[in-house]
Amino acid sequence: MTNILSMVISSLILASLFISISALTYLAYRHIGISAYRHIGISAYRHIETLESQLANCKFVQGNRSLYATAGMLGKTMRLCMIAGMLSTPNFYLRRNLADLDDIHNIPQRTKRVLLFFWYYLIFSASSLVISQGLRAYFGGR
* pLDDT tens, position by position, 36-85: 333 333 345 556 777 888 888 899 988 988 888 888 777 887 888 888 88
Give dist(CA 67, CA 25) in Å, integer. 18
- Total structural domains in the chain? 1
Q: What domain range is 68 assigned to? A: 3-138
58 CB neighbour count, 10 Å cutoff: 24
pLDDT of 32 above 80? no
CB-count exposure of residue 4 (10 Å: 0-12, 13-18, 19+): exposed
pLDDT digits (tens, 9 = 90+) for 91-111: 999 999 999 999 899 888 887
pLDDT of 90 above 80? yes
Task: Report whether 82 contacts 60 (CB < 8 A).
Answer: yes
Give dist(CA 106, CA 15) in Å, integer. 34
Residues 129-138 have a mean pLDDT of 78
